[in-house]
């Protein structure tokens, strides 16, 4: 479906496929900046949520000095142990609840 929309920048009418990323045929500015901003905000919020619920494991960089790698590996070991315990409890709760 296509429509026309008045460009908020130059005031000319442009073809508009109701897609937030559609641009003006005359000045190439975004035809629906509000929708674009809204879409962007939604994408950012989604990313934030994903980051909050995902556990970031420590990355051991081979270029790090040996003592940094040593401490990172200990930290990573704790992280893996922690995740395993949490997974075990989630499994146990699911088992008991079922």
SS3 5: strand
Beta-carbon count within 10 A of 11 CB = 10
Q: Is 4 in the site for Zn ion (CB under 5 A)?
A: no
**Rounded to the nearest whole angstrom, what is the least distance from the CB of residue 29 to Zn ion in the complex?**
5
CB atoms within 10 A of CB 14: 19
CB of 10 or CB of 83, closer to Zn ion: 10
Instruction: Give the interface segment with Zn ion, choosing from 2-10, 34-42, 48-56, 83-91 (CB under 5 A).
Output: 2-10
Largest CA distance in the chain: 65
Residues within window 19-58 making contact with Zn ion, judged by CB under 5 A:
24, 26-27
Residues making contact with Zn ion (CB under 5 A): 7, 9-10, 24, 26-27
């Amino acid at each position: 479906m296509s429509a026309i929309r008045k460009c908020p920048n130059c005031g000319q009418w442009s073809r508009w496929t109701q897609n937030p990323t559609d641009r003006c045929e005359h000045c190439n500015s975004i035809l629906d900046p509000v929708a674009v901003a809204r879409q962007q905000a939604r994408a950012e919020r989604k990313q934030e949520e994903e980051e909050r619920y995902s556990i970031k494991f420590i990355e051991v960089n081979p270029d790090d000095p040996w003592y940094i790698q040593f401490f990172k590996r200990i930290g990573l070991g704790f992280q893996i142990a922690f995740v395993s315990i949490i997974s075990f409890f989630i499994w146990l709760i699911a088992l008991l609840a079922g």
